[in-house]
Amino acid sequence: MFWRFFSLALCQLVPLVLVWSFADFKDASVPLLLAALVGAYLWLALDAVRGLHLLRWLRAGDMQQPSPGRGLWAEVADRVRRVVRTHERALAEGERRLQEFLAAIQASPNGVVLLDADCRIEWFNQTASSHFGLDAQRDMLQHFGNLVRDPVFAAYYAAKNFDREVLMAGRDHGGGVQVMLSVHLHVYGEGRSLLLSRDVTAVEQAEAMRRDFVANVSHEIRTPLTVLAGFVETLQTLPLPEDQRSRYLALMAQQAQRMQTLVSDLLTLSRLEGSPPPPADDWVSVALLMAQCEQDAHDLSMVLWGTAQSLHFQFDPGLEIAGSTVELHSAMSNLIGNAIRYSPVDKPIDVRFVTTAAGGLMFSVVDKGQGIAAEHIPRLTERFYRVDRSRSRETGGTGLGLAIVKHVAQRHGAALSIDSTPGKGSRFSIAFPAQRVRCREPILIDA
């Protein structure tokens, strides 16, 4: 500011000195006044030029260039630069936080779509793109209802009641499972909407499985209970000959055994789902497992058919497998038992427990039964799923055996595979990884 007043005084002093040097003292008042005015105008012109330089500098917008001039205008330029830099830092910080916020939304497992007041798409994350089949290059500012033509969402949006969420079908990804989405709209700002979508396919499947499970258990228990109640009532109210009483009591025992088997399988499934994985350092002899399975198979064959079915067991006596003896025996006995139940008594059954080329173990049961149609195979490990319900009940099957086998295989890092041809038979195999296999000296099994 001092320089500004000094320059003004200097611009006026120089003309005054010049006029004072050459003017007549008797009549110098007018020339001196004019000289002062000329000096003032000269200072204003110079100041205007400096102001124009500052204006051009501001218009250029390059704050990296040095500010023009000095004095007041230089200080103004410096303060403008400071304000602009502060503003730029604030914008950069805001942009950084916005990008972090958008990145967090992108990483969200839920779909997020921002809609304007006319339901046009302003932004969406990758999850929403997957849920609704949206494309960022193609669908921005498009009406959401035109892209997602679902009558459930159309009715939901038209009702303008967004207090609840709705279930609608999502985009089909070709997996053979209908995707179900939970969609909820939240209004904010000036008529804008935030649409949140959540994939609830697994939840819906679990709920459907729970309903089916309860219905199946109720049905499986109700049938033998009805039979038992009827026989008990008959025995209580009617005088029966001894042979009829014996027959009724045998049927009652059969139904009680059926319920006991069902409850036992349910408890086994519950234990498998709720317990920690089996240890990887607890070694089980393959020879002992096969001996137990062979005895169980012989007993079951005698109970079902009254004669010993032809079973061929092949295994290496020196092999051991890491895992739970109880679980492995349960899985293998289930596969062998199914083969006995669904194979003619005169057809042989081959049971093998051999090493694979990769160093693992392959347990397989091959029968010559009626086989299974291809459409049933993907669902065989579902609880209570049966290809032939009447045949299962006749042979005492609960519909839980293959579900138990699948859980045991998964808990041991193994994979269950099923191959079957109608009319020719079936092959059920469990492939165990190499890290769960070792070879020791053979163990002799007493006959």
In this predicted model, what pLDDT tens digit does every residue of 379-400 receive, in sequence order?
888 877 777 655 445 545 677 8
Question: What are the chain's domains?
Answer: 2-100 (no CATH), 108-199 (3.30.450.20), 209-275 (1.10.287.130), 277-447 (3.30.565.10)
* 437 membership: H or E segment, kind and range: strand 437-439
- Identify the band that residue 217 occupies on the pLDDT scale cut at 50, 70 and 90: confident
- Identify the band that residue 445 occupies on the pLDDT scale cut at 50, 70 and 90: very low
Eight-class DSSP state of 279: P
In this prediction, residues 112-121 reach a mean pLDDT of: 91
Scored b (16 or more CB within 10 A) or e, 270-306 reads: eebeeeeebeeeebbbbbebbbbbeebbeebbeebbe
Percentage of the residues of the chain whose pLDDT score is greater than 90: 17
Eight-class DSSP state of 376: G
| C-alpha to C-alpha distance for 406 and 432, rounded to whole angstroms | 13
Given a contact cutoff of 8 angstroms between Cβ atoms, the answer to whether 57 and 67 are in contact is yes
Q: Give φ, ψ of 278 to 5 degrees.
A: -65, 150
Please give the pLDDT value at position 183.
Answer: 92
| C-alpha to C-alpha distance for 29 and 202, rounded to whole angstroms | 102
Please give the pLDDT value at position 20.
Answer: 57
Given a contact cutoff of 8 angstroms between Cβ atoms, the answer to whether 348 and 336 are in contact is no
Residue 432 reports pLDDT greater than 90: yes
Identify which of 16-25, 43-52, 102-111, 207-216 has the greatest average pLDDT.
102-111
Q: For residue 297, give both structure tokens.
A: 């198979």
- Chain mean pLDDT for the chain: 81
Q: For residue 102, give both structure tokens.
A: 């958008």
pLDDT 10s digits, 232-278: 888 888 887 888 888 888 888 888 887 887 888 788 877 887 778 88
Cβ neighbourhood burial of 342 (10 Å; 0-12, 13-18, 19+): buried
In 3D space, the residue among 333, 346, 318, 332 whose CA is nearest the CA of residue 444 turns out to be 318
Please give the pLDDT value at position 190.
Answer: 81
Higher local confidence (pLDDT), 164 or 18 = 164
The dihedral formed by the CA atoms of 123, 126, 127 and 133, expressed in degrees to the nearest 10? 80
Given a contact cutoff of 8 angstroms between Cβ atoms, the answer to whether 293 and 335 are in contact is no
**3 state SS of 135:** coil
* 355 membership: H or E segment, kind and range: strand 349-355
